[in-house]
Every structure is written in C-alpha cells, then in structure tokens.
Structure 1
Amino acid sequence: MFAPRVALASLSGESDAEWARACARPAGGAFLGGIAVDEPTREAAREMAGRDRREFLPDDPVAFVDDELTELDDQFLRAGVNVRAVDLDPLREAAAVCADHDAILEVNAHCRQDEMCAAGAGETLLRDTGRVCEQVETASDAGAPVSVKVRAEVAGVHLPTLAKAIERAGADAIHVDAMDSRRVVRDVAAATDLFVVANNGVRGREDVFEYFAYGADAVSVGRPSRDPERVRSVYAAVKEWFL
C-alpha cells in the first residue's frame, strides 16, 4: 500500500498538498482531506465552517482533488484522499481522479460531527454496512485502491465484522482510529487480510511497537503530522521495528 509504513492522517480543513509535502520524506503515505464531494456533505461542511471548524469548500471539489494530487505526483510518498459522500456519482468521479494519480480513495466512515452525520455521511456509515460497502464498491470499480477510515467505540458496531464486509466489497485497507481501545486493531487484523493502518496516539516508539505487535501493517500520525520532527521520530520507530 505504501512504504515506509507511516502515514500522515487527514485533519479537517488542513490536510492539503502543502501539508503533505512538509513531511513527505519520512512518511510513506498522506491522506488529504476530508473533502466533502457532494451537495449534502458540502452543506454540512458549510454549517461546520460556520461554527469555526476548518473545512475545504472549493467551488469544484473533484477538480480540487485533482489539483492537490497533481502537486504530489513527484513526491516520494503515496497520496490518498479522505472523502465524505452520500451520493455515489461524485464519489465515483473522485475515485477516478485518484486512480489517475495512483492515489488511494479513502471512504470517510469516521467523522462524528453532528452536521455530517445528519447528512448521512461519516460515522453514520459505520451503522449501515450496506451503504459503506456500496461506497467501497463504487470507488473500487472506478479503479482506485480503497481504504475506509473508521473509529472504535461506536455503540452497536463490531469493527472486525465490518472489516470483513468491506473486504468482500473490494476494499484494500482499513484505517482504524482506535480511540481508547487499541486492542481493536488486533481483532481487525486477525479478521481480515486488509492492510491495517492504526491511528490514535501515535507519538513515538512505544506506540508504534504496540500497534505493530497487535498486527497493524502501518501507523498514521494525526495532529503531530504538523511537526516534521515528530513524524521523523515515528518513522525511526517504524524503521526499527522492521529491522
């Protein structure tokens, strides 16, 4: 999927090509976004921005994805785009753009903001296996490698079972925000052959080694991704693990 096995995780309204280039050398992957690509999620993003959250709201979100990925075509890392969607046609268009750039389309089943959930996107998808699988199939059919960003500790959601379903639907990876339940990474890794990216609290050697011991294939760095020195520290721990 990408190497070295450390990725930069998307930060709402911040994770663009410039952000990714700042840590391109020590990281193997970078997930831009999240990008709202259809009108229901764009309206939710507008409402979120109205209460001072940072959101990407370009006039043409698919063209924006294309432009941002073009800026990373010559970089060492593999890019991905975290996409919020309800409608399948814009998702398909974004996935086709990702395929053109050999980039990963990441279905956002992670955002828990009220506005995005009310629109039927983000965390709402975790509770609707049929819809999240439909998004995976749509993106995969467009030719893009597909990841799904999920979070642990959502009532009524059994992540290993969900992981099996998205794997059957054509997903290549699952990006797990472990919250306070890091051992869920072990359960997901044991349940599927998906490329498992572990996220949450990745700060240094102890965190990296714990996630890899649970069976993760890679780790991702969220807020510390703004700090190249912190990313280099995580990279050094990943490199040590694989020695």
Structure 2
Amino acid sequence: FLGGIALDDPTRAAARDLVARDREEFLPPDPVAFVDDQLSALAAVPLQAGFNVRAVSPDPVARAAAVCHDHGAVVEINAHCRQDEMCAAGAGESLLRDSDRLCALVRAAAGEGATVSVKVRTELAGVDLPAVARDVTAAGADIVHVDAMDSESVVGEVAAATDAHVVANNGVRDRATVREYLACGADAVSVGRPSDDPDVLERVATAVAEWFDGDGAADAVDPAAAGGGPGP
C-alpha cells in the first residue's frame, strides 16, 4: 500500500498542518493525478499495488478509486489515522465513530469497480470494530485491514464478523508474529515500518508461505469458540 494521501480540501488542510509540525505528508498539486503517476510507475512490477487515501467526501474517493481500478490496484480508505488534525477534519479514525459516513466513502469507491480496502484500528473507545467490519463489507468493502495495536484477539473477532479478506497489521516481523495473526483468522498480514528491510520481508514471506502450504492448520483458532465471535 502506498500513501496515505489526502484527497480533498479538509484533509489537505489537515496535512498542511501536520507538515507545519514536522510530519511528512504527500501534498502534490493534484492528488488524483499523483495516484495515477505512482501506480503507472509500478506497472511493470509483479504485484497488486494499493493506495491508502484520506478524505471526508465521497467524490474524490470515487475519482481515486477509478484510477486504482484502471491500474488493477486496491483503493484503501483510511479510517485509521489518529493525528488530531486529520480527525478534526472528519477523516482517519473519526470515521470509525460514524459508520454512515464511512460506508458512503466505501460505496463511492466500490461504485467505480475498484477493489476496496478499509484500514481500521483497534482500541478506540466506544467503537465496535466487528460491527464496523460488517457495515463496510455490506457497503462494498473487499478487505478490512486491521491495525491490531495491542489487541491481537480483535483480529479474530473481525474475521468472524465479515466475509471480507482480513489483513492484520502491527508488529509483523517474523514467523511468530505471522503465525499469531493467521491463527487468529487473518487471511494475510502487512508489514509497516520495516517494509524497506529485506530480511524482515523475507522472514515474513517465508512464514506466510509455510502457513498456507499447510503447516498452520493445527495453530488456527476458531474466534467464536474462543469467545471472540459476534453474539447471536
């Protein structure tokens, strides 16, 4: 996943405020054209790219999703960023407390035919993440990308609540962390900050391949049996 990139005026204003306090942000003159340029640069690379986008309103999400669809890429709606400026603008993790707005963004992206991911985070007071996962899946999300923070078991609860592809993130570094998340019910894992470390990527790729080649079945956990599934 590339990004995240602010698409509309409120999130771009928030991004400028973040830059003012020394955070790095993508602020190209035309963010949708930037998405197109970056995905074009990856055209010959044998992978499916994705672009994480921040927005408050559906229209710019739809435009970015159309570009992602044209490139065979995933568009990922950011309901994850916890920076105060982005949340005050109505984006990032604030969307987890407003399912209607989040689902409107998902529907806008799905309407362009793109594969849609929603990145979420655990440990947000008052947020029922499995319920959010059900809502965004019903709105058209294909992937729920979970930053587990220190609540790995929530990955299992989300996996039990949705038919979407569940990607687990946070602290993925080695065989043990890969197996922990996959045993909880995740379909895949993502590597964050050390994604530029070839040794980490090789360890993670090897562990994922081992799991799906068949040696992980004994470690798998039924989230509902473990008390993590949704209620009746």
What is the TM-score of this pair, normalised by structure 2?
0.91
The equivalent of 1:145 in structure 2 is 115
Question: Are positions 1:52 and 2:22 aligned together?
Answer: yes
Amino acid at match of 2:210: E
1:121 paired residue among 70, 87, 91: 91
Question: Are positions 1:237 and 2:207 aligned together?
Answer: yes
Alignment of 1:97-112 (within 5 A): 97-112=67-82
Q: CA deviation at 1:139?
A: 0.2
**Secondary structure in 1 aligned to 2:137?**
helix
Alignment of 1:27-66 (within 5 A): 31-66=1-36
Q: CA deviation at 1:89?
A: 1.4
Q: CA deviation at 1:222?
A: 0.3
Alpha-carbon distance in 2 for matches of 1:228, 1:97: 29
Question: Are positions 1:159 and 2:129 aligned together?
Answer: yes
Alignment of 1:87-102 (within 5 A): 87-102=57-72
**Secondary structure in 1 aligned to 2:157?**
helix
The equivalent of 2:230 in structure 1 is none
Question: Are positions 1:203 and 2:158 aligned together?
Answer: no
Amino acid at match of 2:135: A
Q: CA deviation at 1:88?
A: 1.6
% identical equivalent positions: 65
Structure 2's unaligned 5+ residue stretches are 214-232
Amino acid at match of 1:97: V
**Secondary structure in 1 aligned to 2:49?**
strand
The equivalent of 2:44 in structure 1 is 74
Alpha-carbon distance in 1 for matches of 2:63, 2:161: 31
Q: Deviations over 1:107-142 (max 9, x none)?
A: 000000000001000010000000000000000001
Q: CA deviation at 1:76?
A: 1.2
Q: CA deviation at 1:93?
A: 0.6
Q: CA deviation at 1:91?
A: 1.1
Alpha-carbon distance in 2 for matches of 1:105, 1:236: 26
Q: CA deviation at 1:204?
A: 0.2
Structure 1's unaligned 5+ residue stretches are 1-30
**Highest Rg: 1 or 2?**
2
